[in-house]
Amino acid sequence: MKNLITRRKFGKTASMGLAGGAMVANLPFACAMGEQKKKLGIALVGLGGYSTYQLAPALQNTQHCYLAAIVTGTPAKEKTWSQKYGIPQKSIYNYQNFDGIKDNPDVDIVYVVLPNSMHAEFSIRAAKAGKHVICEKPMAMNVAECDEIINACKASGVKLGMGYRLHSEPFTQAVKRFVREKTFGDVIHVSSDAAYRSMGSPGQWRLNRKLSGGGALVNMGVYAIQSSIYATGENPISVSAQEFSTRPEYFKDTDETITAQFEFPSGATATMMTSHNIRANRLHASCENGWFELDPASTYIPLAGRTSKGPLDFEQVSQQQLQMDDFASHILYETPNLAPGEMGKRDMIIVEAIYKSIAQGGKRQELEFSNSYGFSK
């Protein structure tokens, strides 16, 4: 069976709003500018596993940005990272002297990769320093903090993006296109799972509610919420949710497994499951005239997908590389912001509604958004 979509076909049919960062150089208005602007410098705030094994390596291959500075609370990492990536001492900061980054012309973007409880503080400090901001998911500990971040960025006139890497990769973009073009007719039901089995130290920050703000829901659940939304092309109008635990001695302070059910304006429905005690990673959409699915749907690489018309076939490229290039091109060339701050706030509104439903014994919670709230244009 022939592939339904190849990377070449996708490149020809994708709209500018869904094009990956690698395509920016071909945009007419980018060419019209004549001279290519400089690469933007990114400062990584927090040098944990994600920065170490995903972001920093990806920044060695980006077209529109580069690793310019680091912020860490571990002195030993300063020397290691400086030697490995050639970062000068003037571009190495800790959490106390971070505000001095405002005087560093090499830094254009601050990427906050810290425990959730620190997202708001450092996103706001970065904005006040006049730097554009990428904030890892979840955006903050609550909706109020999301508003504080958004307002700080607006007040300082800087751009705000979420670290939602999947919006920049071709499998997810294909899903969005199927929905937008009604390739398989109207979407009727979506099922999404995002989960892994945690076997790490019970003392890790993700299991500490004061640092994480929640458990599986705020970590993996954001992927399931997101995929339910972009696989229907709508924001939900209601949610009902349930929580389960089979290892209460390990998950003492955070949620282990959560299921939820969404209703959408079109009449479509969705079910999601997220867990820190189950291995699952899938998106499946049943439509009027067929179906499409990604399995796995939210891992780094490789992703895989198929439809009722055939398999999906795309080049596997670092999602983080595409994501950071897309945000840099948004700043440089005014291309669409694929994951704006309002999207992070929307997801936190849904997270809070899910927790409220659980607290009320699974009671249906109504949700209200404008038609475009949280979506990239």
Active site (catalytic) residues: 137, 223
Length of the chain: 377
Can you tell me the distance from the alpha carbon of 282 to that of 5, in angstroms, rounded to the nearest whole number?
19
Element (H, E) at 132: strand 132-135
Are 92 and 82 spatial neighbours (Cβ–Cβ below 8 Å)? yes
Can you tell me the distance from the alpha carbon of 261 to that of 242, in angstroms, rounded to the nearest whole number?
9
3-state secondary structure of 172: helix
Are 272 and 281 spatial neighbours (Cβ–Cβ below 8 Å)? no
Query: How does 291-307 read in b/e, with b if 16+ C-beta sit within 10 Å?
Result: bbbbebbbebeebbbbb
DSSP string, 252-299: SSS--EEEEEEE-TTS-EEEEEEESEEEEEEEEEEETTEEEEESS-SS
Instruction: Please state whether 366 falls in left (phi above 0), alpha (psi between -120 and 50) or beta.
Output: beta
Query: How does 148-168 read in b/e, with b if 16+ C-beta sit within 10 Å?
Result: bbbebbeebebbbbbbbbbbb
